[in-house]
Chains A and B, each alone.
Chain A
Amino acid sequence: MILVLTEIFHQQIKRTSLESLTLAAQLAKATGSKVKALCIGDGTPSVDLGDYGADEVVVINDSALLENDQLCDLICRTATRDNASYVILSLNSTGKSTAGLVAAKLNKGLISGVTGMNTDSGNPLFKKNVFSGKASAWYSVDQHGAVVATLPNGISPVSGQGKQTSLSTSNSECVTSKIKRLERRLQAGKTPLAEASVVVSAGRGMKDPSNWGMIEELSDILGATTACSRPVADAGWRPHHEHVGQTGLAIRPNVYVAIGISGAIQHLAGVNNSRKIIVINKDPEAPFFKAADYGVCGDLFEIVPKLNEALKNFKSKS
């Protein structure tokens, strides 16, 4: 059995969970095992998880506010009962705080930040990101299986698996947590940065926080989430949770649009695994151009408003 933690947030199944499920389905195919999706969160799955390869779906009641020790207990009890070889979850905030607890308790290996798998040699090899995106490493696991934490946006969810799933609900029967939650402050609105498929990011080249209207507009047109570079967050021009780069959040969206960001190595360390990078900067020597797929060298205060107009025109015609 392969156990996958699937998270439901605002009644939606998280994309990161579909990524974990996709890896599980691939592993199940290669090893001839079944996939069980353990659903936690604030609702029931919004999509058919059988379509992503789950054979069995268990929805845990009242599980939206589990602390990591409670979640660990729930996962370990389920894994032990089902004799699960693998436990797969996302290396999102939940995974970062829980994966090692589970590995220690189940006495299994842990591979976190996984972006792919290879089963050509019979035994699965897992690929993970290392050196802040500058390389990857392949790991093998022993006969006991492992806890695998998939890197957010590291695997493309694959639907169309057409599995017939059995759906059941269960109570969490949680242990008392050692952690007492006093408050939870959720960011409203857009897709969280770590999960965003398109990110529009801006830096010091914007000159003043009052100039961000055009960035918000571009972001809205593209259905993107906004981000910023470190100096901008440090200066208080933008909120800290928007800061991407080494000290901020490391992300790997499908498309990263960098506007007025020079591309210092510390910034690149947080974004260099984006699938496509578009850079708009007036300095032809900006190091970001070397990491970009597309570059526009010019004044962002001219280019971005024109681009917004052109994109809006395009969208209204199509």
Chain B
Amino acid sequence: MNLLVCISKTPDTTSKIAFDASGKKLLEDGVQFILNPYDEWYALVRAIELKEQFGGQVDVIHVGEASSEMIIRKALAIGADAAYRVDMTPAGSWDTASQIAAFAKTRNYDLIFLGKETIDYNGSEVGSMLAGILDLPYIAYASKLTINGQIATLESEIEGGIAVSEVNLPMVLSCAKGMAEQRIPNMMGIMNAKKKPLEVVSPTDVHQHIRLERFELPPAKSSVTMIAPDDIDKLVDIFHSDLKII
């Protein structure tokens, strides 16, 4: 099977988020960048499992600067065979989706995997855009995937429940909890990753439709009001007068 996994670089969940004076740029001092957890835990690992089951090749693609190499090497250490980095700073999800589409168009991938969202922009945008550009079927938030010949059977989140669907390959899917279990790269994997190919790809021209004007931090949270554990009446009053839910 010919498999492509799209990987993204995001600030670690525990990072403190701050912006420069213009409000347009994330201050990267002290921010630890990681491989987006859903890309790593669910998308990449499931692709590797399928390769182990059916044979084939797992490629990873990343749209970003050279500083992303660390997260790309991690994907290789976990078990991807080859990596491609489109050399640009994406201005948004349309950039990322367009670059990946341009790359994937000529390469006959059976499945293109993504995580359900990135933990920085939280938009779930790239997967559906990519499927739209490539005119491929798309399943979002898939929690289960099995392959039988050219047919994929998937469980995925729909409004109000779970859908079980069948799709003819090729397809694009975004992966959520349940798809696979996290794999920690071992020493051998880390050593091998250094020898695996990482090719830099030139970006294509993409028109931007939207523009980031500025970031904004939420107003500081007012401090917590503590209620004594034996003052249940006070708590009831809060539910009634302040929260207005009884």
Which A residues lie at the B interface, using CB under 8 A? 7, 9, 14, 67-69, 72, 91-94, 96-105, 107-113, 125, 127-132, 134-142, 144, 146, 149, 178-187, 192, 197-198, 221-224, 240, 243, 246-248, 250, 254-255, 265-266, 269, 276, 278-279, 289-299, 302-303, 306-307, 310-311, 314-315, 318
Instruction: Determine the chain A residues whose CB is within 8 A of the CB of B212 once the complex forms.
Output: 137-139
Most chain A CB within 10 A, of B121, B156, B238, is at B121
B123–A299 touching, CB < 8 Å:
no
A295–B159 touching, CB < 8 Å:
no
B159–A129 touching, CB < 8 Å:
no
Closest 4 CB pairs of A and B: A100-B128, A104-B132, A109-B209, A298-B229
Q: Between A and B, how many residue pairs show CB distances below 8 Å?
A: 261
Instruction: Determine the chain B residues whose CB is within 8 A of the CB of A108 once the complex forms.
Output: 209
Partner of B243, one of A99, A129, A255: A255
Instruction: Determine the chain A residues whose CB is within 8 A of the CB of B14 once the complex forms.
Output: 265
A186 to B159: give the CA distance in the assembly, Å: 8
Q: Is the interface of A mostly helix, strand, loop or mixed?
A: mixed
A141–B140 touching, CB < 8 Å:
no
Partner of B161, one of A184, A222, A246: A184
Q: Which of B53-61, B69-77, B217-225 lies at the interface?
A: B217-225
Partner of B157, one of A91, A93, A136: A93
Instruction: Determine the chain B residues whose CB is within 8 A of the CB of A311 once the complex forms.
Output: 236, 239, 246
Instruction: Determine the chain B residues whose CB is within 8 A of the CB of A142 once the complex forms.
Output: 208-210
Residue-wise, chain B 141-184 has the 8 Å CB interface mask toward A (1 for contact) of 10000000000010011111111111110010000011000000
A15 to B156: give the CA distance in the assembly, Å: 22
Which B residues lie at the A interface, using CB under 8 A? 11, 13-14, 17, 19, 37, 93-94, 97, 119-133, 136-141, 153, 156-168, 171, 177-178, 208-218, 221-222, 224-229, 232-233, 235-236, 238-240, 242-243, 245-246
A250–B122 touching, CB < 8 Å:
yes
B122–A129 touching, CB < 8 Å:
yes
Q: Is the interface of B mostly helix, strand, loop or mixed?
A: mixed
A310 to B238: give the CA distance in the assembly, Å: 12
Partner of B93, one of A110, A192, A314: A110
Instruction: Determine the chain A residues whose CB is within 8 A of the CB of B161 once the complex forms.
Output: 184-187
A-B pairs with beta carbons under 8 Å apart, 27 shown: A68-B138, A72-B132, A91-B123, A93-B157, A96-B140, A99-B128, A100-B125, A101-B131, A103-B94, A104-B131, A107-B209, A113-B123, A134-B218, A139-B211, A139-B212, A181-B164, A184-B161, A185-B163, A224-B245, A254-B243, A269-B13, A289-B226, A296-B227, A299-B229, A307-B235, A310-B232, A310-B235
Instruction: Determine the chain B residues whose CB is within 8 A of the CB of A141 once the complex forms.
Output: 209-211
Instruction: Determine the chain A residues whose CB is within 8 A of the CB of B240 once the complex forms.
Output: 314, 318
A131 to B139: give the CA distance in the assembly, Å: 24
Instruction: Determine the chain B residues whose CB is within 8 A of the CB of A198 once the complex forms.
Output: 245
A40 to B133: give the CA distance in the assembly, Å: 25
Instruction: Determine the chain B residues whose CB is within 8 A of the CB of A110 once the complex forms.
Output: 93-94, 123, 125, 129, 209-210
Partner of A179, one of B132, B167, B229: B167
With A96-B140, A100-B129, A303-B229 in contact, is A181–B163 under 8 Å at CB?
A: yes
With A131-B120, A142-B210, A223-B245 in contact, is A182–B166 under 8 Å at CB?
A: yes
Instruction: Determine the chain B residues whose CB is within 8 A of the CB of A98 once the complex forms.
Output: 128
Q: Using A187-B161, A276-B242, A289-B224 as known contacts, list a sample of 9 further A-B pairs with CB atoms less than 8 Å apart, ordered by residue number in A.
A: A100-B93, A129-B122, A135-B19, A136-B215, A222-B246, A246-B119, A247-B177, A278-B238, A311-B246
Determine the residue in chain A with the shortest Cβ distance to B226: A295
A178–B243 touching, CB < 8 Å:
no
Most chain A CB within 10 A, of B97, B128, B215, is at B128
Q: How far is the CB of A228 from chain B (nearest CB, A)?
A: 13
B159–A92 touching, CB < 8 Å:
yes
A141 to B208: give the CA distance in the assembly, Å: 9
Determine the residue in chain A with the shortest Cβ distance to B132: A104
B160–A307 touching, CB < 8 Å:
no
Most chain A CB within 10 A, of B93, B129, B216, B222, is at B129
Instruction: Determine the chain A residues whose CB is within 8 A of the CB of B19 once the complex forms.
Output: 135
A9 to B137: give the CA distance in the assembly, Å: 24
Instruction: Determine the chain B residues whose CB is within 8 A of the CB of A97 once the complex forms.
Output: 128, 138-141, 156, 158
Partner of A140, one of B125, B139, B210, B217: B210
